[in-house]
Structure 1
């Protein structure tokens, strides 16, 4: 089993100031990792509420490759090395039928939700390869497996994240760098504010457990995937849908 000799691992969590990203960061911090948060806005982030002190809080636009590269170099200067990359940053985008979907919003969703993952992976992977160890976890969605009506851009982007994860995991299979993704259903986060009550109800109705996911449930899954204990699984999509998806 591949392990790192570095005593304290450092994790970058994108979209880490709130919601799912913050929940993941909390869990990783509780297990002894140093946390670097990437987000566009830290106005509502409070260390006292988060329960941990980030090593860095960097304002990063994941859709912009130069912004990502600059932040990663600054992270290396502060941390010495990076061991874990959690690609969580994302937006839901409008809820509209595809023939009415705003073209500029389609592009924005893909730029952040899919190209953002590429930008972060492209930037971090050479460093992880050089170390001979790394864990990358990409946050996709069950929408990327099954599609949600009136959410085509989000579904397309998340489906792309799943396929991209499979591809790069095979490129890195002998490097000590494992790449997996998670496909959760909806959780109680700020993203719900972008959705109509009808859309939320339709998603909940598809879940056999008849409830939304709890952030802590996702964080626990991601923490294991990002650990050295996950040593023989790469390119896989871990399900968190309360039974909605069984593949």
Structure 2
């Protein structure tokens, strides 16, 4: 890149960052601007389909779009921005290589676009960070699928004793917090998926799983309006989901969750 060429640094490779860079990629010639993307992964995650990955409907690779392939002129910097100096026009990038210590360096910018995306909110609720799992990344989606399968396998193998039945009930209880798009779809899709594979277990069927969907809001899917929200709520009730609205999580531990 020629000296003096303006550098545009975009922080975040989600939808906003990706489309901003694609627009710049199309409308600015290489000599007009150097394009830099700082992102923790080398792919754009199509997050609306994470519930489908968590339920095995879609393979993880099908919702990961290669940033290098889609944006060939963009220099991709893998890492997290941990600081910004507006006066010096630099951002601090911290990366975690596969081996060795973390690496920290500065990236200079002439124009800065901050679209880092979102993370799962935990609200400092006791035990949530240690014992709950989000659904924001591919790793979390695959983990949830594998964890659910493990719990079902373990529940099916529990002995028919008082203690074994108690452990079985725990393993077969799923609490999803958040009745928006992700939480509602995760519960509905997972139920449907497990129904197609329940023959793999000898003593456990989908009717044995207790589903609890919790949200502090007064309706499910509030983004869609009251009419569609009521239809979704009726569908969940018909499927046996215990929907608790106006309720939040007070605390969680390794074996239980306390609701308000």
Q: TM-score, normalised by structure 1?
A: 0.32
Looking at both structures, which has the greater relative contact order when contacts are Cα pairs under 8 Å and sequence separation is at least 6?
1
Per residue, is there more strand in 1 or in 2?
Answer: 2
Per residue, is there more helix in 1 or in 2?
Answer: 1
User: Which is greater in Rg?
Assistant: 2
